[in-house]
Every structure is written in structure tokens, then in C-alpha cells.
Structure 1
Amino acid sequence: MKMMVTHSHNSFHHCCQILLAIVLFSLQILTHIEAYGSKVEVLPGFEGPLPFELETGYVGLGETDDDMQVFYYFIKSENNPQKDPLMLWLTGGPGCSSFSGLVYQIGPVKFENKEYDGSVPSLVSRPQSWTKLCSIIFVDLPLGTGFSYAKNLTAHRSDWKLVHHTHQFLRKWLIDHPEFLSNEFYIGADSYSGIPVPAILQEISNGNEIDLQPLINIQGYLLGNPLTTNREKNDQIPYAHGMGLISDELYASLQKNCKGEYTDVASRNELCLRDLKYYDKCLSGINTFNILDRYCEDDSNLKRRSLTQELKASLSSHLTVPELSCQIYGFYLATKWANDERVRKALHIREGTIRKWERCYLSDFEFDISSSFEFHANLSKKGYRSLIYSGDHDAVVPFISTQAWIRDLNYSIVDDWRPWFVNGQVGGYTRTYSNRMTFATVKGSGHTAPEYTPDQCFAMFTKWISKLPL
């Protein structure tokens, strides 16, 4: 109970912080450095002219040029950019470049999966790009991520800083791109970004309410396999049991000895720790991000860590060359691509700002938002639309943990559990709530669902962004 009190006190403290940040930001916005964006005509590795419009650039958030520079990739809708929604995409981590979202999940290009031969890795078109329906800003935040840079990185890396910086970035970007001010605006994200994104939306919404300019036409958000309560570990074990990865006997013993608490286990609870060790052994050869996918030695070897450590281990740069059939081979190609001089020139990267591009920069991050549940509750009250989707073969943020916190929001069901279809086949299952939240499972998919099942996710996104039932 005591924890609840400090939690609400913290929330109040953060609300004050947010208001202060908003006021300061509105005063400063006129004096800050202008945003800067340049069109990218050709991309090394991609043959011929680009069949879509790509702009890259920096938005300065600090007082001086080298203080805080946020890098972004902006792709205009391939349909009707004047009318189509605008979306900002944040990849998880925290600290993985949103180039990941662009190239592995929902952008118009992807790496050709072939052996690296020393030249620029090849890029090919992705037919299921979400840019066929909306314009997307892929942003490298928190600072230090991808091509974003700052003088003093450590000072700018925490959940709340990420919230404030994303909000500032967006208003400044819109000042520089006023033609998108009237477009419906959404935020999309996955994995760890399930923690900061609901807080970002709340801060944007608060800013709109006090008439902070420019007003942002925010309509809602979508999150894939989102970390939400930081208690997801407690659902990993029932999930593993349901999927046949551990025996009935071990599951019964875990329940009895740990009493459903697998996240914070007392060191004196030897029976529970013994069971957990056995559980880890059972899953040691499983790629927990997609239990159907092959397990590659470089993937995180999940010992009993906290979820953020688990995500971190799987995202750290791989020193050895993975096998071509491993999902992480694509991460290896991205590192080769982004560190090529010709690529940097084409993307208009400022020379000398980033020595070695890493897909995920994970150090010095302060985790100061423990759960995003209360933000979902606030956003529900404000009536924003949301789509929460879960690849149903992800054992890291299992769909049962996502369903549990959605249930705890306590809204009535308006369209009950039913299959949704792609080309006459079941694509997954869905349910809609009275707070305008749609939950959907993606059948046979993993942690970053669009990466594993692009057709299903494209169909799901098309329906949802067009305000049609799945």
C-alpha cells in the first residue's frame, strides 16, 4: 500500500515536471536552432532511383549546434501524403535505432539476405511497407541512438528525458514541416518503447490542452509486444507451460514454491530458485523472441535476468558473424551498411559526429518509469484510439501478460474475441474495448511481429489505420 502512495506522489511530481518542461520549451522554441532536412535521392545498395520520397535530417534540441541533435528518416506516404496520417516510429531497446523499424519491419526497403561480400549490402523493396498508407518519421531517440548525438550523452539518457525529447522533437519537426500539421497523427512503437510511448502521448496531449504551439493532431497509438508493467517475467512461465516448453510437474512445482512471483525472488527461497534454474535449462536452446525461429548462439542466452537486461543482452552488438539463416544476420548487414562512407554521404550524416554506428546503444540509461499502465489509463479517459498487437510466439513479452493489463484497465468489451483473416486464412485473434482499444494476436509471429509475418501485419495495420474493424 505504501508503494501506491509514493507512486501517485511520483506521478504528481512528474506532472509538475512535465508542465515546467512544456512552459520552458514553449519559451525556448523560437530561439532554438532550426531543424534541417535534406532529400535522399539514391541509397547505396538499392538499384536505381528510390520509388518513395525519403528525407533525412537533424532537429536541434539544445542551446547550441553541438548540444543535442536528433537524427530522423522521414518517408512520405506513397499514397496521398496530403491526406494520409503521419506516424512517428520509435524502436525499443531502449536505444535501438529506428532504422531497425524501417529496414526490418515496416519501411519500404529491406536487406537482401545474402552473404556479405565486402561491398555495400544490397537493399530491395518491401511490398508490405506501412508507408503505402501513411507518412512515417523514424526517429533515433534516446540521444546517443543511431546517428543522434549530444555533447554530454549521459545527462540525456533516461525514460523521462526520452519522453521530453520526443515531444520537443515532434513540435519542432512540425514547425519545419507545417504541411503536415492538419494530418491525423499517431505514434507507433514496440518492445521496450511500450514504457515511454504512453507517457509521450500524455505529454503531447497535456501540451495541446494548454495550447502549446504548434497543436498536434493526435489521434492515437499502436504498440507491438510492448513492455508495460515490468512484471512480464511472471507471465513467461505460464506461457512456456502452455506452449509445451516445460512439464506439468515443473509448472506445478514453480507455482507452489514461487507462488506466482518469478521476478523478485528472495535469496532464501531455495526451492523456487532451484525450479527457476531448471526452467532456464529447459529454455536454454529456445529463441525466446520467437519460439518457432531457430536459436542462434549469439541470441540472448536467457539466464534469470530482469526483462530489460534480457532485452539488452539480445540487442548488444554481435562481434562474430552470425549464420546467414539467423535473424541477427540482418543486424550484421545493417552495421556494415551504416558504417560505409558512401551511405553516410547519401544520408547527409554530419562528418565526425558518430564514429561507429551501432544498431543499439544501450549504456548509461536510467530506467525511471517502472510501468506505463497509468498512462494507458489516462489516455483511455481522453478517448484516443489504440491498437495493441502481440506476436503469439513471443516468450519475452507474452500475449497473456498484455491481455492481463488490458483487462485491468476495466473497460467493457464491444466486439468479443474472434479470428481476423488475411486472404481467407486466420491471421490471429482480436477483441475491441469501449476505450477504443483494439487488441490483436498475430498468429505464428514473434516479438517484432511485422518482421516475422509482414503480410499479416500489413493487413492488420491497413484495417486499423483506415478505421475499419480487423
Structure 2
Amino acid sequence: MKVKLFGGISGEKVGSLEEVARLLPQQGSKEQDEIVGGLPGQPEGVNFKQYAGYVTVDDQARRALFYYLTEADGADPSTKPLLLWLNGGPGCSSLGYGAMEELGPFRVYSDGKTLYKNRYAWNRAANVLFLESPAGVGFSYSNTTSDYELSGDSRTASDAYTFLINWFERFPEYKNRDFYISGESYAGHYVPQLAYQVLSHNQKAGKTIINLKGIAIGNAVINDETDGPGMYDYFWNHAFISDETIGAIHKYCDFSPNATSQNQQCHDAAREADKNVNPIDIYNIYAPLCNFSGFTHKPHKRVEFDPCTDYYVDNYLNLPEVQKAFHANVTRLNYPWSACSDIITHWNDSPSTILPLLKDFMANGIRVLVYSGDTDGRVPVTGTRYSLNMLNLSVKTPWYPWYTRKEVGGYSVIYNGGLTFATVRGAGHEVPSYQPARSLTLVNAFLKGKPLPRP
């Protein structure tokens, strides 16, 4: 559902600068984008401003990306950094998942129409900018339908960079602000490649165009050669598959970048593994499944996790009054809002690894946080640890438990060079959704450049 692998993915080009980003004529403005009066169904007592709208990233194709900004809550926004959030897929919505189900200021009640405050929203720590990318995802669109067949890592990164330099013109108060890029899942590709664009353009210009300070990626697809074995080893370690199945995968499957196809023994073993895992939620192996039977007429009590949230969010974001409040250009979409795009069916380029980019960031003083919810089976902690081990980094602060509310929130290790790896105990694929308090502790420490707290 949230990590889609398309046939035909290939290419080893990492972080290319194919186009020179430029300022483009824009129809929107900050004043027009403000969500005056708040979102439909939002609770009382909201003291931060919200904005939503479009930034054109290609004036010939009329390709435009949708954004949602929530200013910092509980403090003067000018004292807080700017954090960009990207969901992965490829092709899934940062508004639907990131903003409405994970780290945004609101969650949707079970009536699918009203909102309640997320007590652990990340805009308590930063001004948070959600971007729906690439075009064809969520409310983002192109007037040239053939654009949707050209999606891939390179274009996604260059469009996102073009979005940023034009967005900063609309919101000039953020131009010199400390800036961070974060995301999860396939955003393990999006985030580093966008950060590479930012760093490269700064270096090419000989000045700081965007004041990038760090990146954070969670349960992230970062290295095919280890992500695959890490997933199947996680299945075996959690007793989903037999000794024989994992033995066959180790013996017959080739996850190296040079592998063009797998033999029949590998396919048979993988099929057996998938059969055993299918009855559970692979994105959180201990979570209850949703038995959706319709919307309740009245909002029920606030909960930190509801397995049917996808349905509530889908209904909410398809309400005409909600789309109007978000300034969504639905006349150009011609299809209902959906959490993951149905019109992006091909992905043209996806490097097998982004590990070299992590090394580049560390060499240039960009902080890197890699974190893993430890109950995710789709991009599990085992694969991430295998991937990071390939960097051969020396340890600065050895493995230790970190705490939230006097409880172990997870475990962490800090490497020399500025990379931190952290687990989040009891969290699935979307860490802020399953463990919101622990995720807020995580992002607070990251933004402040401090180690995760000990008792």
C-alpha cells in the first residue's frame, strides 16, 4: 500500500543536476494561500497559521505541486526552523499520510468529517511544510498528461528543488531559516536526492541559497542489496517463515545490484514467505487490523492509533468544503483524491543505493538521522542496520537506550561524522502514527542537534 515497487525500475544515476532550477511565474501568493478560519471541523483553540496552495515547477507543461504549511504552535514561528516532510511510495501523499495520520497538527475522527488536535504534532518543534510530490500525487497535477509517464527519482528531486526556490520567494521570511528535510519509506530516496540538489546548487552558486542543516529518514528504502535480505531475515527472526524458507532465500536469491532476474527457487521461496506474512499488517506486525463497517455519526474518544484511519482521512480529504479550504484545484485533477496515486504506474529511474549521498552529507557538515520503527516488516530495522553497516563508520557514542516519559523510547548509536541511527520501540512503518510521543522526542533532539535523551 505505501511501498510500491514498479516493474522497469533501473538506473544508477544518483543526485544528478539535469535542469537548472529557476524562478517561474506563479499565480498564487502567501495571502491567497492562507487558510482563513481554519479547516472544516477543526477544534477550537488553534493558535497557529496554516497555508495551502500550489507552486508551478514547469511553466510549459503547467506542472504544479501542492503544499500545506503549518506554522509552529506555542511559540513565535520566527524562532523555529523549517522542516519539510515527504512521504514515499513512490506516489503516496504527504498530506494524507504525513499531515493527517502522522505528524500533522490534526487527526481525523471516525466520522470522517471532524478533527482533533494531535498532542504530539511536529509543529510543536518546527514550522512544518508538507509537499505532495511528484505531480500526480494527491492534489499535485500536470496539465500535460504524458508527464505522469515520465516520473522517476531525478525528476522528483529537480521538481522538488524548483518548488523550494519558488516557495521561498512566496515566503521570504524562511529564506535564511535553518532548514531540514525529512520523510519515510521511499522518501529514503526522495530526501537524500533533494538534499543533494540543495547542497550542489549552494556549492555551484558559491553561497547559501537554502540553509540546509540536516536530513532525517525513517524506515527508509536506501540500499537494495541489503534492504531485501533484511526484510526476509526480519520475517524469520519474528517467526513468520520457516528455517527452510529463509535457507532457500539465502541460497537462491541474489540481491546484488547486478542481478537482472531471480531463479525459480528464489521465486518459490519468496512466494512462500509472502503467503505467511499476508494475513497480518506488514507495516506494523503487532497492530490490529481494520474491520471498517462505516463511519460513526459522532466523534468517539481521541486515540493515538486507529487502524481504520485511512478511511477517515480519505473521506475527509474528498469533502468539497475541505478541498475548497485547502485551495485544491480539483477541476484540473479529474479524479478523487487518493492516498496513493493511481495514475503514476511507471517509475523511470531509481538508483539501487543512496548510501554515497549520506557520506557526502556527512563530509559537508549536514547532520543525518536514520530511524526505524522496530515493528515494521516492510522496511525493517534489520535491513537498515545492514545498510548502515556498509558505510563502515566508526562509533562515537555506543548503542544505548533513549527515553520518553521515563520509558525506553528506543535505542540509538551515534557515528563519527554526524550520522545518528535510532530505533523507535513499538512503532511501525509510519513512526509518528504509532508512537507519536516518542517521535516528537526524536525530532526535537534531531532539530536541536542533541543526542536522544538518557534517563
Cα RMSD (Å)? 2.9
Aligned residue runs from structure 1 range 272-311, under 5 A: 272-295=266-289
Measure, in 2, the Cα distance between the counterparts of 1:293 and 1:368: 33
Aligned position for 2:6: none
- Is 1:111–2:108 an aligned residue pair? yes
Where structure 1 has 5 or more consecutive residues not aligned to the other structure, the ranges are 1-5, 299-319
Q: 1:262 to 1:148 in 2, by over 3 A?
A: closer
User: Equivalent residue of 1:82, what SS?
Assistant: helix
Contact 2:230 2:386 in 1 (8 A): no
Deviation, structure 1 residue 321 = 6.2
Q: 1:210 to 1:341 in 2, by over 3 A?
A: same
Aligned position for 1:233: 228
Contact 1:234 1:262 in 2 (8 A): no
User: Equivalent residue of 1:352, what SS?
Assistant: helix
Identical columns (%): 27
**Greater relative contact order (Cα 8 A, min sep 6): structure 1 or 2?**
2
Query: Which residue among 346, 361, 367 is the counterpart of 2:341?
Result: 361
User: Equivalent residue of 2:401, what SS?
Assistant: strand
Deviation, structure 1 residue 164 = 0.3
Aligned position for 1:143: 135
Give CA deviations for 1:2-61 in whole Å, capped at 9, x if unaligned: xxxx977x45xx64xx1x512xx34xx2x5335433211221122336332101121112
User: Equivalent residue of 1:337, what SS?
Assistant: helix
Aligned position for 2:186: 192
Give CA deviations for 1:217-257 in whole Å, capped at 9, x if unaligned: 10010011001123422211211111122233443454345
Aligned position for 1:39: 34
Measure, in 2, the Cα distance between the counterparts of 1:236 and 1:128: 29
Measure, in 1, the Cα distance between the counterparts of 2:436 and 2:420: 19
Aligned position for 2:5: none
- Is 1:75–2:73 an aligned residue pair? no
Query: Which residue among 84, 103, 114 is the counterpart of 1:122?
Result: 114
User: Equivalent residue of 2:91, what SS?
Assistant: coil
Where structure 2 has 5 or more consecutive residues not aligned to the other structure, the ranges are 1-9
Aligned position for 2:87: 91
Measure, in 1, the Cα distance between the counterparts of 2:90 and 2:267: 28
Query: Which AA in structure 2 matches 1:50?
Result: V
User: Equivalent residue of 1:380, what SS?
Assistant: helix
Measure, in 1, the Cα distance between the counterparts of 2:258 and 2:185: 18
Q: 1:378 to 1:261 in 2, by over 3 A?
A: closer
- Is 1:244–2:236 an aligned residue pair? no
Measure, in 2, the Cα distance between the counterparts of 1:143 and 1:212: 30
Give CA deviations for 1:178-199 in whole Å, capped at 9, x if unaligned: 1111210000100111112211
- Which TM-score applies when normalising by structure 2? 0.86
Compare 205-214 and 92-101 and name the one that shifted more: 205-214
Q: 1:377 to 1:348 in 2, by over 3 A?
A: same
Query: Which AA in structure 2 matches 1:122?
Result: T
- Is 1:54–2:50 an aligned residue pair? yes
Give CA deviations for 1:396-427 in whole Å, capped at 9, x if unaligned: 11111111221212221100101101122111
Aligned position for 2:7: none
User: Equivalent residue of 2:412, what SS?
Assistant: strand
Query: Which AA in structure 2 matches 1:360?
Result: C
Aligned residue runs from structure 1 range 16-31, under 5 A: 18=17, 21-22=19-20, 25-26=21-22, 29=23
Aligned position for 2:205: 211
Measure, in 1, the Cα distance between the counterparts of 2:381 and 2:193: 22
Give CA deviations for 1:285-333 in whole Å, capped at 9, x if unaligned: 22111110124589xxxxxxxxxxxxxxxxxxxxx96999995522222
- How many residues of Structure 1 are paired with residues of Structure 2 in the alignment? 426
Contact 1:285 1:295 in 2 (8 A): no
Q: 1:80 to 1:259 in 2, by over 3 A?
A: same
Contact 2:86 2:190 in 1 (8 A): no
Compare 231-240 and 120-129 and name the one that shifted more: 231-240
Deviation, structure 1 residue 200 = 0.8
Compare 334-343 and 442-451 and name the one that shifted more: 334-343
Measure, in 2, the Cα distance between the counterparts of 1:94 and 1:244: 29
Measure, in 2, the Cα distance between the counterparts of 1:63 and 1:259: 44
Contact 2:288 2:307 in 1 (8 A): no
Contact 2:291 2:308 in 1 (8 A): no
Deviation, structure 1 residue 336 = 1.5
Measure, in 2, the Cα distance between the counterparts of 1:75 and 1:244: 42
- Is 1:446–2:438 an aligned residue pair? no
Query: Which AA in structure 2 matches 1:104?
Result: E
Contact 1:322 1:328 in 2 (8 A): no
Give CA deviations for 1:162-216 in whole Å, capped at 9, x if unaligned: 1001001001111111111121000010011111221111111111112288711
Aligned position for 1:315: none
Compare 378-387 and 180-189 and name the one that shifted more: 378-387
Measure, in 1, the Cα distance between the counterparts of 2:233 and 2:313: 35
Aligned position for 1:379: 361
Deviation, structure 1 residue 92 = 1.1
Contact 2:228 2:255 in 1 (8 A): no
Measure, in 2, the Cα distance between the counterparts of 1:193 and 1:346: 27
Contact 1:420 1:427 in 2 (8 A): yes
Deviation, structure 1 residue 268 = 4.8
- Which TM-score applies when normalising by structure 1? 0.83
Measure, in 1, the Cα distance between the counterparts of 2:384 and 2:264: 28
Give CA deviations for 1:68-98 in whole Å, capped at 9, x if unaligned: 1211111111223112110111111112221
Query: Which AA in structure 2 matches 1:432?
Result: I
Query: Which residue among 122, 134, 151 is the counterpart of 1:157?
Result: 151
Contact 1:149 1:353 in 2 (8 A): yes
Q: 1:214 to 1:235 in 2, by over 3 A?
A: closer
Measure, in 1, the Cα distance between the counterparts of 2:172 and 2:63: 22
Q: 1:280 to 1:140 in 2, by over 3 A?
A: closer
Compare 121-130 and 89-98 and name the one that shifted more: 89-98
Query: Which AA in structure 2 matches 1:138?
Result: F
Query: Which AA in structure 2 matches 1:255?
Result: H
Measure, in 2, the Cα distance between the counterparts of 1:259 and 1:96: 28
Q: 1:353 to 1:49 in 2, by over 3 A?
A: farther
Measure, in 2, the Cα distance between the counterparts of 1:342 and 1:69: 21
Q: 1:412 to 1:290 in 2, by over 3 A?
A: same
Measure, in 2, the Cα distance between the counterparts of 1:386 and 1:172: 25
